[in-house]
Amino acid sequence: MAKLLADDFNTGVIGERLNVYSPDWPKYGFAAGNMVISATNGIENAEGAGGSVASNYRADLVLPSADYSVSADVISGTSIIGVIARVSLSASTFYQARLNGYGTIELARSVNGAFTTMVSAPTNRTTQAKYRLRLECKDSQISVYLDDAATPLLTATSTHITTAGKAGVRSGPGSGYIDNFSIDTIDSVEGISASLNATLAEAISSSSANLQVEGVLVSELAAVILEMSGTLESKVSLVKTLAPATLTAAAYIEIEPPAPDGIEVALLSTLSAATLAAAASLAVNGVLSSTLAGPTLVAAARTSTAFDILRLHPARVVRFGGSGSRVVVFEGSGSRVVVFEGSGKRIRINEMDVKVPIKDGEKWKVERDRDEISYYAADITNELRDRNTTAVESAVIPLTYGVELLEGPEVQVATVEGVERTFVVVKLGDVDGELPDDWRWVARVPCANGERFDKTTWFSEVDP
Amino acid sequence: MKRFYLAPTIGDGSEEDSFRPAIANYSVAYASWMPDVPVFGKMVLVEVATNDHSGLLADAQFSVLPAYPVDLQVSSMNSGDYSGLVDTLNEYAIPDSAIGGSYWDTLVAISVFLNEQARYGKAAR
């Protein structure tokens, strides 16, 4: 949002007409009264209770498009008073956000002088009060925001006035004041620190822009475009429809971005027909219960649950020294990823409630519930480095003993603390019947130099 | 709680007496689907958000529509509500053909008929 114009009327002389105060504020031709500099608050209608409607507009500002917002502090009194946008100079035609006396906030339109109140809400005030009104026009979506709220109080769809026109102020007879007038663009949305309840349909969050929602994202995002490295982050549940949102290039939707503790949030949103292009990723650390029917995943785009956290947020992976020769655990919504480093240090995900490996003889074991379904990542970085070679990804074989292989294997690379590490990732299921003595899974890794090695993860049974 | 009503248009289109649904006389938040050319007395579809609908429900000049989610298929309404909706629309010369698809689709169709009625002077109440 960029400011196009601001005026606090502080340089005016009390009682001076607004069009005298500045020639950039001419009278609007469809109102007989006069706005003047107020002794107390900005400007007011000079005519008093028995006079005429007063209206002025900013003549100097050529608005870059019909999509912009007009804001002002408006003090209610007995008049109908507010800001106007898309003002036609050839007819009494405009949109208006206004206070109607003490009791009502209205979004109205005047088309050739016929006033229609489209949307209205009570103020629940019975005495004079100051409100910050923002009238926002975006395509056919006309909205009124109150007191700099993140979400509109009033919204209407109207195609009656589509040209940019001018922006200004308007006051009926009676008491009421306008101060701190401004005109702003509405070309981007970013850094929303409260809950986002607004409709963002067809909004464009452009290159590198972040749409970050600290609270609940409950907004309609249909047709929203997140371009390039744009990010949609929601720190709590994302519960709204995203269809048919388009995420291009490296854009990604992230639910619950990096945080030191367990991740319990869920993606409940419909992504039907969403397009994730190029390297876009959809990372869901919590439950993915959304409809994904029909999404288009292009090029390297992927949806992922638990283990992609290694790739997307390697900073969350913390290695720490000690006697543990391997390990790690990553838990989220019932799934966990266990990463065996192989030698040296353990890795864990920050302060998560990890299951620490236990040394049993010469084996480091990970406690596992027999009904557990988890991701396991075997870190083969050191083995490859020792051999000065690479893995033949297509030939990697998972060997399972007493546990069902559900997915994988897949060779993944993640940069952890500045070091690029290679993992073999599988998803393992539960156990039928008796556990074997050598309950384990093995990543058998053929190398490009013709060698082969096994990386074994041992399990010990534990009740959930 | 939000509910939809059919309400008559009041006002004369002046700045002080703008066209608006008669529901504006109640202290409730509303969004009206005002016709392109509003006409005093013609019915308009209004969405009202309030915790207390009792005053509106008791006002005979308003007709309340069934309380269902807007994405519900109208074919899923219970028979009593469905027939009540048909009767309400017929009262305002809105044909049964407006009813179909989702509840939202039906509301859109109703507003289109009301818009036509306001523009061309067809029957209202």
Task: List pLDDT tens digits, range A33-76.
Answer: 999 999 988 999 987 777 889 999 999 888 878 999 999 999 98
pLDDT at A351 over 90: no
Q: Concatenate the DSSP letters of all residues of A274-302 into one string.
A: -EE-TT-EEEESSEE-S--SS-EE-TT-E
Which tops the pLDDT comparison, B10 or A50? B10
Q: Would the CB atoms of B18 and A108 count as touching at under 8 Å?
A: yes
> For the purposes of burial, counting CB atoms within 10 Å of the CB of A442, is it exposed (0-12), middle (13-18) or buried (19 or more)?
middle
A36-40, A122-126, A204-208, A394-398: the lowest-pLDDT one: A204-208
- Any chain A CB within 8 A of the CB of B24? yes
Q: Residue B13: its chain A contacts at CB < 8 A?
A: 113-116
Q: Which of A53, A103, A104 sits opposite B15 (nearest CB)?
A: A53
Which tens digit of pLDDT belongs to each residue from B14-61? 999 999 999 999 989 999 999 888 999 999 999 998 889 999 999 999
Strands (E), A236-354: 246-247, 252-255, 266-267, 275-276, 281-284, 287-288, 296-297, 302-304, 317-320, 329-332, 335-340, 346-349
CB contact under 8 A, B20 and A120: yes
Contact A115 B19 (CB under 8 A): yes
Kindly state whether B14 is in contact with chain A, defined as any CB-CB distance less than 8 angstroms. Answer: yes
pLDDT at A364: 63
Residues of A in contact with B38 (CB under 8 A): 114, 116
Interface test with A, best of B15, B20, B50, B107 (most A CBs within 10 A): B15
Interface touch B31/A154, C-beta < 8 Å: yes
CATH fold of A3-185:
Jelly Rolls (2.60.120)
- What is the mean predicted confidence (pLDDT) over B52-79? 93
- What's the sign of the alpha-carbon dihedral A122, A127, A133, A135? positive
Nearest CB neighbour to B38, from listed A116, A154, A155: A116
Q: Answer yes or no: is pLDDT of A204 > 80.
A: no
Across the interface, of A114, A119, A172, the residue whose CB is closest to B19 is: A114
**CA nearest to A116 within chain B:** B19
Nearest to A231 by CA among A266, A259, A269, A192: A192
Q: Across the A/B interface, how many CB contacts are shorter than 8 Å?
A: 54
Closest partner residue to B31 among A114, A124, A156, by Cβ? A156
Which residue from A59, A13, A11 is spatially nearest to A36, judged by alpha carbons? A13
Smallest CA–CA distance from A156 into chain B, residue: B31
| ipTM value | 0.90
Task: Pick A198 or A436 by higher pLDDT.
Answer: A436
Instruction: Please determine, for residue A339, whether its predicted confidence score (pLDDT) is greater than 90.
Output: no
Question: Which residue matches tokens 């945080």?
Answer: A259
Domain ranges of chain B: 2-120
Mean pLDDT throughout B79-89? 93
d(CA A213, CA A219): 10
Confidence of residue A179 (pLDDT cuts 50, 70, 90): very high
pLDDT digit string (tens) for A64-119? 789 999 999 999 888 999 999 999 999 999 999 999 988 899 999 999 999 999 99
The shortest CB-CB distance from A120 to any of B14, B15, B30 is to: B30
Q: What is the pLDDT of residues A389-438, one digit of tens each?
A: 999 988 999 999 888 888 778 887 766 656 777 878 787 887 877 888 88
Give the model confidence (pLDDT) of A240-288 as tens digits. 444 344 443 333 444 433 332 222 233 434 444 444 443 344 444 444 4
pLDDT for residue B119:
77
| Six-digit token string for B82 | 């469905």
Q: Which residues of A touch B20 (CB under 8 A)?
A: 116-117, 120
Minimum Cα–Cα distance from A108: chain B residue:
B18
**What is the distance between the alpha carbons of residues A398 and A381, in angstroms, rounded to a whole number?**
17
Looking at the complex, report in whole angstroms how far the Cα of residue A288 sits from the nearest Cα belonging to chain B: 23
Token pair belonging to A168 = 């200004």
Q: Do A117 and B31 touch (CB under 8 A)?
A: no
- Predicted pLDDT at A280: 42
Nearest to B13 among A114, A118, A160 (CB): A114
Q: What is the pLDDT of residue B11?
A: 95
In B, minimum Cα distance to A99 occurs at B16
Of B14, B29, B31, the CB nearest to A122: B29
* Tokens at A171, concatenated: 């006051």
**Are B19 and A117 a contacting pair at CB < 8 A?**
yes
| pLDDT for the residue A324 | 30
Name the residue facing A80 among B15, B28, B31 (closest C-beta). B15
Q: Which residue of B has its CA nearest to A79?
A: B16
User: Which of A47, A115, A154 best tests the B interface by mutation, with the highest count of B CBs <10 A?
Assistant: A115
Bigger pLDDT: A168 vs A317: A168
Of chain B, the percentage scoring pLDDT greater than 90 comes to 66
pLDDT at A407: 78
- Please tell me which residue of chain A has the smallest CA distance to B24: A120
Chain B CB contacts of A112 below 8 Å: none
Predicted pLDDT of residue A455:
84
- What are the two backbone dihedrals, phi and then psi, of residue B87, each rounded to the nearest 5 degrees? -60, -40
Could you tell me if B19 lies within 8 Å of chain A, comparing CB atoms?
A: yes
Residue of A nearest to B20 (CA): A117
Average pLDDT across chain B, whole number: 90
Yes or no, beta carbons of A155 and B34 under 8 Å apart: no
Mean pLDDT of A323-336: 33
Report d(CA A230, CA A208) in Å as an integer: 5
Q: Mean pLDDT across chain A, nearest whole number?
A: 70
d(CA A56, CA A74) in angstroms, rounded, equals: 15
Shortest Cα–Cα distance, A122 to chain B (Å) = 6
Per-residue model confidence as pLDDT tens digits over A222-235: 344 443 334 444 43
Domain residue extents for chain A: 3-185, 204-304, 314-461
